[in-house]
Every structure is written in C-alpha cells, then in structure tokens.
Amino acid sequence: MNKVAAKQKIILFTCNWHAFSSLEAAGKNNLVYSPALVPIRISCLGRITSGIILKAFEGGAAGVCLIGCPEGECRYQNGNQEAREVFEESRTLLRLLGYNENLLQYHLVSAGDGESFQENIDQLVKNIQDNRKTR
C-alpha cells in the first residue's frame, strides 16, 4: 500500500451526486489518480464551509480540492454556487494567512465521466503540487 505522509495529503471534498459518481466511474474503470488524494464525500458541496477548509490546512494538508455538480445541475439547486462563495472566501483567508491560495482548488464535473474526472483531478493535483514550494 502506498502510504502518503500526512503532510502530502490532499483532501478532496466531493458532493454525493455528479462529482462522486465520476470518482466512482474512475475507480470502476481502473483509472489511476494521485495517491495523495483523500476523498471525503459530503451530501452537497454547499455543505462546505471555510472552517472545514481551514481545518484541513491546520491539520497539515498539502492542499484541498472541492468538486461538485456542473452549473445549473446541483441536486439542491444552488449548493455549487454557495460552495463557490466559500471557495473565494477561503482563498482570501489563505492569502491573508500567507498561504498560496492555489493550494485550494475548485472544479465542477459531470456525472459518470471517469476519464474527465481523472484528467481534471490530475490537473488540480498538479496545480497544488506546483504551488507547494511557497508554502
């Protein structure tokens, strides 16, 4: 088993719908994605708060990714819009705290599309890892 040191972990918050089904599809199709990712499924990405995001960084996470349903397709109408606001607020807080704001990433994915999930998530992980040096 590939053990990832706590310091390198990237926390992936996924909603229960489009985002999680694309993650599952990637798994079913044996598509490989970064072992640094630690997925945490929440009912809706609108459930995320800046407190939860900061808590991940406080605990030593290398980065945080938020993935949810495409615009207009949130199961609960506007969860992804709320998540977008939390994302912006959290980036500002990270910047104030002297963290590189790119350590927090946000992306919307379509249901069941494992390949696009793999591609996008690879890019998010790369964005985070490229920005790690600064903090």
**Contacting another protein (CB under 8 A), which of 52, 116, 127, 129?**
52
**Of residues 83-112, which lie at the interface with another protein (CB under 8 A)?**
89, 92-93, 95-98
Smallest Cα–Cα separation from 101: which of 63, 61, 66, 67? 63
Out of 54, 112, 116, 129, the only residue in the binding site for another protein (CB under 8 A) is 54
Contact code string over 9-48 relative to another protein, x by CB under 8 A: ----------------------------------------
Which of 98, 90, 106, 93 has the alpha carbon at shortest distance from 45?
106
Based on the number of CB atoms within 10 Å of its own CB, is 57 exposed (0-12), middle (13-18) or buried (19 or more)?
A: buried
| Residue 24: exposure state from Cβ atoms within 10 A (0-12, 13-18, ≥19) | middle
Applying CB under 8 A, among 8, 49, 116, 127 the residue interacting with another protein is 49
Tell me how far, at minimum, the Cβ of 52 lies from another protein, in Å. Answer: 6
**Distant-in-sequence, close-in-space partners of 98: CB < 8 Å, separation ≥ 6:** 135
The footprint of another protein (CB under 8 A) covers 49-52, 54-55, 57-58, 89, 92-93, 95-98
